[in-house]
Chains A and B, each alone.
Chain A
Amino acid sequence: MSLALPEPERAIVSRRDAIVEDLRRLVGPGTIIADEDGRRAYETDALTAYRRMPLAVALPSSTEEVSRLLRYCHQRGIKVVARGAGTSLSGGALPAEDALVIAVSRMNRVLEVDYMNRIARLEVGITNLGISETVKAQNFFYAPDPSSQLACTLAGNIGMNSGGAHCLKYGVTTNNVLGLKMVLMDGEVVEIGGSHLDSPGYDLMGLIVGSEGQFGIVTEATVRILRAAEGARPMLLGFDSSEAAGQCVSAIIGAGIIPVAIEFMDKPAIHVCEAFAKAGYPMEVEALLIVEVEGSQDEIAELLAIITELARPFKPKEMRVSQSAEQSAAIWKGRKSAFGAIGRISDYYCMDGTIPLGKLAEVLTSISHICDRHGLRVANIFHAGDGNLHPLVLYDANDPAQSERAEQAGAEILELCVAAGGCLTGEHGVGIEKRDLMRVQFNETDLLLQMRIKTVFDPKWLLNPAKVFPLDGREAAQQDSALAA
């Protein structure tokens, strides 16, 4: 794979032993990992094509420890890469040889749950699913639900502004976070927002969520928890073409129904997922929608009946409502384990562009042309309600030429998404993966404005610096003296 990573600073790498010794004095025993085997566990994330051994790894247990570590690194000009569970698909947690990895995974306590005010205050090392599990007995849940929710942390969700299958109705991370405690690079701890709605002053929380670990290290968060619906049930709708499936989605939304989720799979994806999950997906259709609605049993029945009627003009080959909790679970298991299921049969490169829904059919056709041209297969899975595509470009990682072609095809797909009026990334983040494509979506001024904000939070550009922005053209923002003060 071909993305350039900055040359590590020799002056830092050569002082590794002394730095590790210093770090060990700052934090409790067992917090700093310096041996090679220990560090190797942190050399990559879910974008496994890129690997770098970190300078060292810290597993702090408190905000105070994070603050001490950052203050030390700030004073000595040592770069820092923040990490949750390392499930980033865009290389957001990829380390560097001259950077300290600070992983917040040990900071996973539930600090407060308040059902009357519908909030939970948590340390951000808790897993996404862990939040919902905590409040499940009271029939509450935390809404954003990325497919990696079993492993991924709230920390990473905040860093990437993660979404999930159910954000069509409930929004993404930024819509569900009320307060943050964050350590700035110089070690200062700031609190933004709280347990009330809408922050005073500028919406710093809105900027911080999705800033990919480049503004500070968030250690605690207050999130909204929601009361679960009385019930939920998915139905499967199979079509002869992606175009018909796309039109059906438009018809549902156009009729004023916002299902809690509308997921799309094309034929290759259906076959792989069915083999894995035995969900009862129809195998003969070209495109499958999973549409889930919520409410009482009667309400669900009524909504699904309306959706069934709305779908008829698009000549569905299959329409099947889940008949039991087990069937529903299997339907979702197939969808949520799709990446893993495809991973069993092939290496894949997972894209994350978003497009306006009306362009669906033409974009899918173009995607298949792009992959044909590169001699690669593609499976499409995505959140249809909001146009967030996940084409999985299949390739053999042991074949350097194929890897190269997969990366090239991926870049072309994302350029296509932008040209269609969409964007490079809907929920996975820019990270390292889409860094050099940022100019496809933004001009130099747009990027300069964003990079100045990076300088506001992190004047020395020590936090996760190799990511998000192309490596060239950063000087103007980095050297803006008015912002460094």
Chain B
Amino acid sequence: MLTNMRPVDEREFSRILAEATATATPVEIMGSGSKRNVGRPLQTAANVSTRALRGISLYEPSEMVMSARAGTPLSQIEDALAERGQMLAFEPVELGPVAGSEPGQATIAGVFATNISGSRRISVGAARDHFIGVKGVNGRGEIFKSGGRVMKNVTGYDLCRGLSGSWGTLAVMTEVTFKVLPMPEDTGTLLLLGLPDEIAIEVLCGAMGTPFEVSGAVHLQPSLVARLWHDGLRQQGQAVTALRIENFSKSVAYRGARLKDHFKAYGEIHELDRENSLAFWGELRQLSVLQASDAPVWRISTSPTAGPKVVAAITAYMDCRAFYDWSGGLVWAEVLSTTDAGAADIRRVIATHGGHATLIRAEPEVRAAVEVFQPLEAGVERISRKLKAAFDPAGVLNPGRMYPNF
């Protein structure tokens, strides 16, 4: 019987997946399983993990590129980069603890398979934008590669992006190659307190429109500020609007001063020093404010200026606590638990304002019953189904994980 397999190389993956296709046996594809509670629940006879595929296979700091086998822990990657003063610039957020898993478990391929990026996404791009090469095995058991180790590459179709955010439903990645960037020398944060959502987003969007390369633009409602781990911020009890500046020290000081001047009409502007900045943005990466609850959590991507409208509309239907990232364009909304986690109302709100919503945290029976990922428009759905068939004709890889019918 096929259960809990941890293949050690591509060939073993190939054999297992070819057999799964030949026998039409669905398999769960996973890394460490840190995001296993996100998405539609699976019912498969077996799971195949990339956990045994570990290790950094290439790291050239002066070329800003790294390759690693799929199951390499994200923490190992980030430690190796930090040693050379570099980082994954898209600062992947940690979904595991929000969805009931232990922290620190994520694997590098899981990061690209889910394309979940953090606050710096607005200035440097998403996980998918840093993903430049892949080796993998599709549902037919075919071993393939795409992209490479160089930054600029338009040779053939762009499968790295095609596999980004596919949640293991198209292929198993066995090795990933990605772009890395230098860590900034210094970091500073400007804070405005007590702003209503609409005004806060006006500040954040305004700041993104300055030449000062703001690399984080977030707003937390007071109900979520109350859950921050950072004592000083938690205790002040008002909404927090924050802008991050990262650069050489002199530039952080200069740009901070210019931004303070620019936004002085919005109220007193406080500053976080480097240490406090790192702590604040570090806990946002772990979604600290969403961890201390079991209530359903939605991740909504929309136009930044539509963010507060979306939240106001949701709040009209249900109790909602919101954390805005990406200058308002990404809303993490924690809502009061109902039978459908608010799906019907939230989908209606999204239809009005544009964007897409994913249910990140909910009980398994809720995730089995509602559309967890944004339902697709008919034409896009048809292409997506055929794309799935191109990679996985028997539909054995994580079937139903993203959408019920493929």
Contact = CB atoms under 8 A, between A and B. Distances in A.
B251 interface: yes
A268 interface: no
B266 interface: no
B301 A172 contact: no
B126 A295 contact: no
Nearest to B214: A227
B150 A422 contact: yes
Contacts of A251: 62
A434 B154 CA distance: 11
Contacts of B153: 354, 423, 425-426
Contacts of A1: none
Contact of A203 (B142, B148, B149, B162): B162
Contacts of A171: 125, 129
B157 A453 contact: yes
Interface stretch (B222-230, B290-298, B302-310, B334-342): B302-310
B107 interface: no
A246 B381 CA distance: 47
A482 B183 contact: no
Interface string B184-205: 1100000000000000001001
A253 B64 contact: yes
A299 B211 CA distance: 13
B332 to A, nearest CB: 14
Interface centre among B156, B170, B213 (most CB of A within 10 A): B156
Given A184-B379, A354-B150, A194 B165 contact: no
Nearest to B124: A171
Contacts of B374: 200-201
Nearest to A140: B209
A204 B157 contact: no
Given A115-B209, A207-B158, A422-B150, A188 B356 contact: no
B301 to A, nearest CB: 5
Contacts of A195: 303, 354
B166 interface: yes
B182 A256 contact: yes
B383 A190 contact: yes
Interface string B271-304: 0000000000000000000000000000001111
Given A116-B209, A117-B205, A204-B383, A258 B182 contact: yes
A4 interface: no
B152 A453 contact: no
A239 to B, nearest CB: 17
Interface in A436-485: 438, 441-442, 445-450, 452-457, 468, 480, 482-483, 485
Contacts of A452: 390
Contact of B152 (A253, A298, A388): A388
B6 interface: no
A386 interface: yes
Interface in A272-324: 295-296, 298-299, 302-303
Interface in B376-404: 376-377, 379-381, 383-384, 386-387, 389-391, 393, 402-403
Pick the most buried of B210, B330, B355: most chain A CB atoms within 10 A of its CB. Answer: B355
Contacts of B163: 203
A430 B155 contact: yes
B373 interface: yes
B146 interface: yes
A299 B158 contact: no
Interface residues on B, range: 35 or more
A111 to B, nearest CB: 15
Contact of B403 (A118, A184, A201, A425): A201
Interface in A138-194: 139-140, 160-161, 163, 167-168, 171-172, 174-175, 184, 188-192, 194
A449 B377 CA distance: 25
Contact of B304 (A117, A163, A199, A200): A117
A400 interface: no
Interface string B32-64: 000000000000000000000000000011111
B148 A421 contact: yes
Contacts, number: 262
Contact of A174 (B158, B170, B379): B158
A9 interface: no
A445 B142 contact: yes
B311 to A, nearest CB: 15
A340 interface: no
Contacts of A122: none
Contacts of A388: 150-152
Interface in B166-187: 166, 170, 181-185
A296 to B, nearest CB: 7
A174 to B, nearest CB: 6
A436 B276 CA distance: 56
Contacts of B301: 196-198, 200
A430 B158 CA distance: 12
A451 B41 CA distance: 32
B156 A438 contact: yes
B243 interface: no
B356 A190 contact: no
A21 interface: no
A219 interface: no
A438 B155 contact: yes
B387 A202 contact: yes
A409 interface: no
A354 B152 contact: yes
A427 B121 CA distance: 24
A426 B154 contact: yes
Contacts of A163: 152
A453 B254 contact: no
Contacts of A161: 154, 158
Contacts of A468: 156
A229 B149 CA distance: 30
Contacts of A184: 379
A423 B166 contact: no
B91 to A, nearest CB: 14
A284 B328 CA distance: 53
A355 B150 contact: yes
B138 interface: yes
Contacts of B165: 198-199, 201-203
Contacts of A250: 62-63
Contact of B356 (A160, A196, A485): A196
B205 A430 contact: no
Which 10 residue pairs spanning A and B have beta carbons closest together? Answer: A206-B161, A256-B182, A200-B374, A200-B356, A426-B152, A250-B62, A190-B379, A386-B151, A452-B390, A354-B150
23 contacts: A114-B303, A161-B154, A175-B125, A188-B379, A196-B302, A200-B358, A202-B387, A203-B161, A209-B161, A253-B62, A256-B182, A256-B185, A258-B181, A299-B250, A421-B150, A425-B154, A426-B153, A428-B154, A441-B156, A445-B142, A445-B144, A454-B157, A456-B386
Interface of B: 60-65, 85, 115, 117, 121-122, 125-126, 128-129, 138, 142-146, 148-166, 170, 181-185, 202, 205-206, 208-211, 213, 248, 250-251, 254, 301-305, 326, 329-330, 354-356, 358, 373-374, 376-377, 379-381, 383-384, 386-387, 389-391, 393, 402-403
